Chain A
Amino acid sequence: MKVSIEYQALAPIIILLASGVLSVLVEAFIPRTFRRPIQLALVLASIVLAFAYVVINASALVIADPASSGGQIKGLRELAASGAVAIDGPGMVVQGIILLVSFVAALLLAENSIDPQGDAFASRSSTLPGSEDERQFTAQGWLQTEIWPLFLFCVGGLLLFPVSNDFLTMFVALEVFSLPLYLIASMARRRRLLSQEAALKYFILGAFSSAFFLFGSALIYAATSSVSFSSVAVAMENSSQDGLIIPGIGMIAVGLLFKVGAVPFHQWVPDVYQGSPTPLTAFMSAATKVAAFGALLRVFYVAFGGMRWDWRPVMWVIAILSMVIGSLLAVTQTDIKRMLAFSSVAHTGFILLGVISTSAAGLSSTLFYLLAYAFTSVGVFAIVGLVRDASGEATHLSQWAGLGKKSPWMASIFGLFLLALAGIPLTSGFTGKFAVFTAAVDGGATPLVIVAVVASAVAAFFYARVIVLMFFTEPPADGPSVVVPSAFTTVAIGICAAFTVLLGIVPQPVLDLVINAGLFLR
């Protein structure tokens, strides 16, 4: 069989991976002092270029499959790389969101003026925490520029993940973006032991879940003699091998639900979110979740769409558990990063409502929610990284008391993000929740929506509690302060805040976009 490579359709992925390789060469051959600016330019340029390609592809007038949407679809819609990759509307929307979020996250990763010692990463991660070596490298101002090639490979993997059209490509993509994340997670400059512990935990559990995914793929292959989503879907309809198919679906679901952080596969979330360098937490909480949900949607809509009566009850339970446990545990947290981590688990539950709907409305509302949530989440962690005292970030909630008095602007923007996470009207979070809830009620999941509403009420409590703490409490005498960041972080926060407000007040253009994206290519 002749292997075909559709270069234009695959361009975003190729650009990122090629820049990754280039970035490794930069590390090898460019003197230390020039590396940072060159790497940074390379990263930002490749993300912008890849995004440009996504936009070009999305607006290219190719009418590939008018029947499935009842009309003409604008934009590229083709199987690339001999059917291993499906470039279609929803896939490109997810890619676009990942690239936008990665751009903002790259700005945060590049921030080097909020910590007096340098950026957010250990000066040399090979040194022992607390050792003389570490102290010396830090004093000399060494920077770990190796995060940039890792970051580029990670984004490349994330771009491939949601457009993979067979289980093997998806598994490769999963590993390509996971491995760099495990590494970067261990590289925090402050509280390095915590960071390394988090990375190890993430790695072990992540490897475990990858194994589940692979095992599931093998079972599906055994039952259907195929790993390609569309042929799996066809084969399942006529198959009597339920003994292989049902465990296969279950194991693949475990692998994907681990990545989105759904209960009961969420145990890594609070530890990793807390221990990782905060800019990486911002990136992970948004980009990884978006990509993983993109993949989850594709697998469950395309490959397992015909089996939805079998997996839906399980997804119901998982969605309910995620919403309820995420919200309840968030209430009990005293560390702001852990609180936000549990809130992210609860949001996973809300997004699962859209997945469960298995309808066009379910798909488009999930995409909208992902976009809305991604920017809010990046923004919220960006600000968490700014609240510092002498020993680094001040993440204990009690240290946040009275911040509204010290820095009213930052506290107000943080309040905005929290309101969006709580789903208050006129913020992006509300529009997203509304879209997803509507799709779920339409899809017959009314009880789930009622649970979601109750969980939202619980969630409103802990978000509001932080606002009360910031604005209505007197600041402690030796409390932390909000560091004034460089232009990198300021721009990043500005973009996030703008999306949060605009998607709440004038969501129509983006809603049009996700609705016109159509369905997955089968």
Chain B
Amino acid sequence: MLLTMLMLIPLIGSIAVFLLPPAKDLLAKQIALGFSLATLVGSVLMVLGLDNSAGGLQHTESYDWIPAFGISWTLGVNGISASLIVMAAILVPVVIVAGWWDAENSGRGNVKGFFSLILVLEVFVIGVFSANDLFLFYIFFEAMLFPIYFLIGKFGGPQRAYAAMKFLLYSLVGGLFMLASLIGLYVVSARELGQGTFDFETLTTLNMDSATQKMLFLGFFFAFAVKAPMVPFHTWLPDATAEATPGTSTLLVGVLDKVGTFGMLHFLLPIFPEASKFYAPAIIVLAVISIFYGALLAIGQTDVMRLIAFTSISHFGFIVLGIFVMTSQGLSGSSFYMVNHGFSTGALFLVMGYLVSRRGSKRIADFGGVQKVAPILTGVVLISGLSGLALPGMSSFISEFLVLAGTYAVNPTAAIIATFGIVLAAVYILWLYQRMMTGVPSKEVEETVSEISRRELVAIAPILAIIIALGFVPQVALNVINPAVEQVQTYVGVTDPEAAVGIEGSGS
């Protein structure tokens, strides 16, 4: 019941906000914030209640929903999904505070709608990470699109309708291929067990022949690759983030896109172990291409929000890389990377959003010399940026290192090539910092860019603190994640290669 209750909190909050009489905008914001904080408390309690000695699903619950199709309301979390839920639960109140005036500033749509949608989104996000009935997962996977679609389409920038539509269509097409595979999986399970099922743990026990596995794998992988997004299915992301409000972008890239990589890790590997191993080399190549393509395009961007979107494509390349090398370091690195990336990208989007809303422009060339007029804001940008380039001491460094170490053990070539991605990360972040923050401030910058406000600082400070704290004591998160990673390895039937032991020793 715990997870259902956890979903109910934001759901009630969203309905309450929606039903408020008009002209109660302030109250709507306060209620939204209150419910999102309550959800945060609930999710932290949920993680503390996990037994870290076991890797299986915990807090499980299961009720029949549509027995005719073997569909049930089955929820459960392991360390990976639980940490992603907490990450989301932290980001939602942060986004609410950071986007306190976003709805008014967009000049369209109502304030209640904005905050109501954010809370609805939180319901679906908790659902998608805790669903362990594949059909239920699919429902949440699709349902998530709509709050985001409206958040972009109603509150975004000038090209918002185009961006929202592109986002929706890419995701729907991906989702439909997943649906086709889902139906195939159902029929396979019905033939083998007599009664079809979508239950995750039952599906991992199926004995599918490898041809079927390879077919069904592709449908799921396509949906997840669009969502993640990986090159070449990524073109919707820069458009969406360029038009969405910074808060929406944070939730979109920081939380929603994780569903893609989470799906690969949590569903694809355990259910299709043979196919995963078969496709792994090809996917690793795609991942490495994503790392470089994202980074190179990030360097070439003139729009700061698009730049951050491309850095994320590069980061998702690392995450996918870690998943498909299937070593314990790679997998736990990727899981941890998902959490860290949520925070570091969120911080970048939000702080750049502060700057953009002051200057009224997203063009990097319109800035310059901000550090002279707003030193504290510049400091925040610097920390967020350094987290984005995975500087040692930041949590993102740990995860990137784990991914690369885990990759080296089985595929040294990919690891060595991917390492150069770090150099490019330094280029795009530091060059961005140099162009926007250093130099002599122009007249417009002096006039428009003011120091960070207390509300803005309160919003972003918690994530910066978490980034640094997890950089020094990553074990807090890794202890929760590692049992789940071992479970995934058991499902796939892989063990770490012998050499990995030595690397683990020297690495730690």
Interface residues of A (CB under 8 A from B): 424-426, 431, 434-435, 437-438, 441-442, 446, 449-450, 453-454, 456-457, 460-461, 464-465, 468, 471-473, 507-508, 511-512, 515
The number of chain B residues with a CB under 8 A from chain A is 30
Complex-state Cα separation, A456 to B183, whole angstroms: 15
Q: Tell whether, in the assembled complex, residue A508 and residue B139 are in contact, meaning their CB atoms are under 8 Å apart.
A: no
Contact among B139, B154, B164, B176 for A457, CB-based, below 8 A: B176
Complex-state Cα separation, A511 to B186, whole angstroms: 17
Q: Tell whether, in the assembled complex, residue B68 and residue A511 are in contact, meaning their CB atoms are under 8 Å apart.
A: yes
Q: Would A460 and B153 be within 8 Å (CB), given that A425-B138, A441-B184, A453-B177 are in contact?
A: no
Complex-state Cα separation, A453 to B177, whole angstroms: 7
Q: Which residues of B contact A473 (CB under 8 A)?
A: 161
Complex-state Cα separation, A473 to B165, whole angstroms: 13
Q: Which residues of A contact B107 (CB under 8 A)?
A: none
Q: Tell whether, in the assembled complex, residue B183 and residue A460 are in contact, meaning their CB atoms are under 8 Å apart.
A: no
Complex-state Cα separation, A441 to B188, whole angstroms: 10
Complex-state Cα separation, A507 to B169, whole angstroms: 27
Q: Which residues of A contact B187 (CB under 8 A)?
A: 438, 441-442
Contact among A424, A434, A454, A508 for B183, CB-based, below 8 A: A434
Q: Tell whether, in the assembled complex, residue B180 and residue A449 are in contact, meaning their CB atoms are under 8 Å apart.
A: yes
Complex-state Cα separation, A425 to B127, whole angstroms: 14
Q: Tell whether, in the assembled complex, residue B176 and residue A471 are in contact, meaning their CB atoms are under 8 Å apart.
A: no
Contact among A456, A465, A508, A511 for B176, CB-based, below 8 A: A456
Complex-state Cα separation, A450 to B68, whole angstroms: 23
Q: Tell whether, in the assembled complex, residue B161 and residue A437 are in contact, meaning their CB atoms are under 8 Å apart.
A: no
Name the residue of chain B whose CB is nearest to the CB of A437.
B183
Question: What are 13 A-B contacts defined by CB distance under 8 Å?
Answer: A424-B142, A434-B183, A437-B179, A437-B180, A441-B187, A449-B183, A457-B173, A460-B168, A460-B172, A460-B173, A472-B154, A507-B66, A511-B68
Contact among A437, A438, A461 for B169, CB-based, below 8 A: A461
Name the residue of chain A whose CB is nearest to the CB of B66.
A508
Q: Which residues of A contact B180 (CB under 8 A)?
A: 437, 449-450, 453
> 0/1 per residue, B134-171, Cβ < 8 Å to A?
00001100110000001001100000110011001100
Interface residues of B (CB under 8 A from A): 65-69, 138-139, 142-143, 150, 153-154, 160-161, 164-165, 168-169, 172-173, 176-177, 179-180, 183-184, 186-187, 190, 196
Q: Would A425 and B142 be within 8 Å (CB), given that A434-B183, A464-B168, A512-B68 are in contact?
A: yes
Q: Taking chain B's interface residues, is the majority helix, strand, or loop, or is none over half, making it mixed?
A: helix
Complex-state Cα separation, A515 to B176, whole angstroms: 26
**Could you list 7 further interchain pairs (A-B, Cβ under 8 angstroms) beyond the known A426-B139, A437-B183, A449-B183?**
A425-B139, A441-B183, A460-B168, A471-B154, A508-B67, A511-B68, A511-B69
Name the residue of chain A whose CB is nearest to the CB of B174.
A457
Question: B182 → chain A, closest Cβ, in Å?
Answer: 9
Q: Which residues of B contact A457 (CB under 8 A)?
A: 169, 172-173, 176
Question: A498 → chain B, closest Cβ, in Å?
Answer: 18
Complex-state Cα separation, A426 to B66, whole angstroms: 12
Q: Which residues of B contact A442 (CB under 8 A)?
A: 187, 190
Name the residue of chain A whose CB is nearest to the CB of B173.
A457
Q: Which residues of B contact A464 (CB under 8 A)?
A: 165, 168-169, 172
Name the residue of chain B whose CB is nearest to the CB of A504.
B139
Q: Which residues of B contact A435 (CB under 8 A)?
A: 69
Q: Tell whether, in the assembled complex, residue B153 and residue A471 are in contact, meaning their CB atoms are under 8 Å apart.
A: yes
Contact among A454, A456, A472 for B161, CB-based, below 8 A: A472
Question: B260 → chain A, closest Cβ, in Å?
Answer: 18
Q: Which residues of B contact A431 (CB under 8 A)?
A: 66
Name the residue of chain A whose CB is nearest to the CB of B64.
A508
Q: Tell whether, in the assembled complex, residue A460 and residue B142 are in contact, meaning their CB atoms are under 8 Å apart.
A: no
Q: Would A438 and B69 be within 8 Å (CB), given that A453-B176, A456-B176, A471-B154 are in contact?
A: yes
Q: Tell whether, in the assembled complex, residue A434 and residue B69 are in contact, meaning their CB atoms are under 8 Å apart.
A: yes
Q: Which residues of A contact B153 (CB under 8 A)?
A: 468, 471-472
Name the residue of chain A whose CB is nearest to the CB of B191.
A442
Contact among A456, A465, A511 for B66, CB-based, below 8 A: A511
Q: Would A472 and B164 be within 8 Å (CB), given that A425-B138, A437-B183 are in contact?
A: yes
Q: Tell whether, in the assembled complex, residue B165 and residue A468 are in contact, meaning their CB atoms are under 8 Å apart.
A: yes
Question: A371 → chain B, closest Cβ, in Å?
Answer: 14
Question: B453 → chain A, closest Cβ, in Å?
Answer: 31
Complex-state Cα separation, A460 to B176, whole angstroms: 10
Complex-state Cα separation, A507 to B139, whole angstroms: 15
Q: Which residues of B contact A511 (CB under 8 A)?
A: 66, 68-69
Q: Tell whether, in the assembled complex, residue B186 and residue A438 are in contact, meaning their CB atoms are under 8 Å apart.
A: yes
Question: B170 → chain A, closest Cβ, in Å?
Answer: 10
Name the residue of chain B whose CB is nearest to the CB of A404.
B154
Q: Which residues of A contact B139 (CB under 8 A)?
A: 425-426
Complex-state Cα separation, A459 to B298, whole angstroms: 34
Complex-state Cα separation, A126 to B26, whole angstroms: 63
Name the residue of chain B whose CB is nearest to the CB of A464.
B168
